[in-house]
Amino acid sequence: MPADADATPVRDEREHARKVFRAMLEARQLETKLSSMYKAGKIVGGVYLGKGQEAVSASLGGGLNWGTDVFAPLIRDQAGRSAFGEDMLDCTRTYLGSSLGPMHGRDGNIHRGRPKEGLLAMISHLGASVPVVAGVLLSRRLQGKLDGVVGATCIGDGGTSTGAFHEGLNAAAVERLPMVVVVANNQFAYSTPNDRQFACGDLLDRAVGYGVEGSSVDGTDFLDCLRVIGGAIDRARSGAGPQMVVARLLRLSGHGEHDDASYVPDKLRAGGLGRDCMQVAAAQMIETGYATEGEISDWQTEVEDAVQLAIATAQQEPPPDPWKERWDARSTKLSMVTEA
Amino acid sequence: MSITYVDAIREAQDKLLRDDPRVFLYGQDISRFGGAFKATKGLAEAYPGRVLDSPISEDAMIGMAIGASLDGMRPIVEMQFADFSSVAFNQIVNQAGTHFYRTGVPVPITVRLPSGGTPGSGPFHSQSMEAIYSHYPGLVVVTPATVSDAYHMLLQAVEVDDPVIYCEHKFLYRWLKANSINGDGLPIGKARITRPGKHASIVTYSAMVHEAVRAADRLQEESGWEIEVVDLRTVKPLDMDTVLASVARTGRLLALGEAFPWGGVTAEVASRVAAEGFHLLDAPPKRFNSRDTPVPYHPKLWAAHRPTPESICVAMRELLSY
Ligand SMILES: Cc1ncc(C[n+]2csc(CCOP(=O)(O)OP(=O)(O)O)c2C)c(N)n1
């Protein structure tokens, strides 16, 4: 099918914007709550917020279809997970170590996933998801089930320096797979600024080098994110090959909640990149008539209640039990062998 | 009509492609070219679209295989040389190795590693990576030493629902021939008594099985020693039942391997025999490996770097005279 860059999505824009915006609200509130619990010592491990990146993340997750598309979120993608359709309980159960969560206490916080439903479970190693998404898509093609499917993943500016990112993007381009890679360029990789991370003028140059179609977006502008990221998803879906979107923004928190981000200059915070996409989005929702102020505040309350409930539920659930744990790293027992 | 070790690997892949629509092959130069060692010769033509050339991207190759396996396929990835799997190390040990434990969803990939040395291969085309991958939970590591095992164990590897690292030995590719593939197919995980004996056991795997048998034959001819040779066949999991039963018969252990000496499969075998079968031993368990240098290029150096029948005999005499 020829790529049609101007193809208009066959979705109701208003409904879509409402869904994605609600996911952003959900992520912001959920993460705010998780952060305070972490600071109160109620969560072990780390808490990594996507604060300031919700518009980008949710635009990607929200453009995908749960159960048929594939999504490999990264550390700052709570909003994308929510928009894709992940149950909020999966998040609270994983952070709080409930044995009923998808990871059963075996892996924590952001590493969770439901691979069978298309939500891949990231490992810490940055870049490693890029080829895995490509592999799912290759498999769909081999089974004749690729048409209309998209695989998507996210990466930070720092993660684009890894070999896995480059190898995976190149291999996906060689196979012309319907993959969308969104780069959240939040200016820092932990504390390392862009000028110590890469020397090309624009991260999009990397896409060009692989024969991947690239686009840029202001990651603080909700409607722009919906349009540009949605456009990339549509193009991938209609057969135009891998797409890369680079979003300019600033992370509005530390790398994790243990980090005060004192390395971010005040000037940067005060500038355009420092504006909060959540506020921009709310204003845009009202401006376009996609939602009223009243609706937004109702949603806030609903989401708050949902977050409280999800946390309370996970808190009451049993933690994993080392005595009942099946300490098996493999699914199979090999026959006739006493395993050693 | 005879069939070589590499033919057996090709035949197994042919059968897998024929019988199982979930199987596809991915690797460098494996399509029309048939692979650097011709282990996939003719398969691209026979199974259009299912034998795919990959870019030189070992990390992406394994990552893609993992993704495909999560989607229901049974990919077989050919590493051109085992040595280059180090580039894919992260995907193998962290992504594939942890996946089932973390998510409950297994990763049924098979990774073929052309392993071990041949004359002139040098430091980067000779390495034996089985111990590295065995160290990590979640992986099965197999090391076929015979033509029939090369065939059957590859069929079985693809059946296993978990990641299998299939270490095939390059030296055996064309050197090892059999009249036919016999139908037994001991399961993955089970060791085999290759040569029965009663005075000492050599526990080994892969190409060293053949060097051990030669050494054992020589010791028998020269001095009447009857040496048992155990072929582990699978290094993870280790079939300690068979190993301990052998040591119980002989009272002496030489753990032999072509890999570097520090740690590794021989260390594992020796320590387990010492811990679990101390009472069976008439002598301290002994290990014998290659030398602790990178694998040299020149055939003369290479031949002296790995254990040979001569050097194995020297080690055995020490063990037998304890
Ligand atoms: C391969 C690898 N090296 C190092 C790390 C440790 N680490 C985790 S997040 C991070 C910074 C990531 O920066 P970036 O990719 O820009 O994403 P951001 O955190 O800014 O969203 C680092 C160094 C890692 N997870 N993986």
Pairing, β B164-169 against β B140-142: parallel
- Does residue B271 register a pLDDT over 90? yes
With beta carbons less than 8 A apart as the criterion, state whether B202 and B227 touch.
yes
Please tell me the predicted confidence (pLDDT) of residue A35: 97
Q: What is the pLDDT of residue B183?
A: 74
Q: Which of B99, B125, B199, B305 is catalytic?
A: B125
B125 is catalytic: yes
Mean pLDDT of chain A: 95
Are the C-beta atoms of A126 and A132 separated by less than 8 Å? no
- Give per-residue pLDDT as tens, A157-190: 999 999 999 999 999 999 999 999 999 999 999 9
End-to-end CA, chain B: 46
Strand partners, B255: B203, B287
- Considering Cα of A335, then A340, then B5, then B7, what sign does the dihedral take? positive
* 3-state percent breakdown (helix, strand, coil) of chain B, nearest 5: 45, 15, 40
Cβ under 8 Å to A: B residues 276-315? none
ipTM exceeding 0.85, yes/no:
yes
Kindly report, residue by residue over A192-221, the tens digit of the pLDDT. 999 999 999 999 999 999 999 999 999 999
Question: Which residue from A113, A137, A331 is facing B106, i.e. has the nearest CB?
Answer: A331
Q: Which atom of ligand 1 is nearest to the CA of A189?
A: 13
- pLDDT tens readout for residues B67-115: 999 999 999 999 999 999 999 999 999 999 999 999 999 999 999 999 9
Q: Is B237 on the interface with A (CB under 8 A)?
A: yes
Pocket lining for ligand 1, CB < 6 angstroms? A 75-76, 124-126, 156-159, 162, 184, 186, 188-190, 251, 255
The verdict on B261 touching A (C-beta cutoff 8 Å) is: no
What six digits make up the tokens of A45?
Answer: 């491990």
Residue of B71, B94, B137 with shortest CB distance to A123:
B94
pTM: 0.95
Residue of A nearest to B54 (CA): A171
Task: Give percent of chain A with pLDDT exceeding 90.
Answer: 94
Q: How far apart are CA A267 and CA B18, in angstroms?
A: 64
A194 C-alpha to ligand 1 centroid (Å): 13
Chain B nearest-CA distance from A207, in A, is: 17
Q: Which residues of B touch A336 (CB under 8 A)?
A: 187, 189-190
Q: Which of A100, A138, A141 to mutate to test the interface with B (most CBs of B within 10 A)?
A: A138
How does DSSP classify residue A233? Answer: H
Contacting residues of B for A331, CB less than 8 Å apart = 100, 106, 161-162
- A132 vs B239: CB contact, 8 Å cut-off? no
Q: Nearest-CA neighbor of B57 among B75, B19, B84, B95?
A: B84
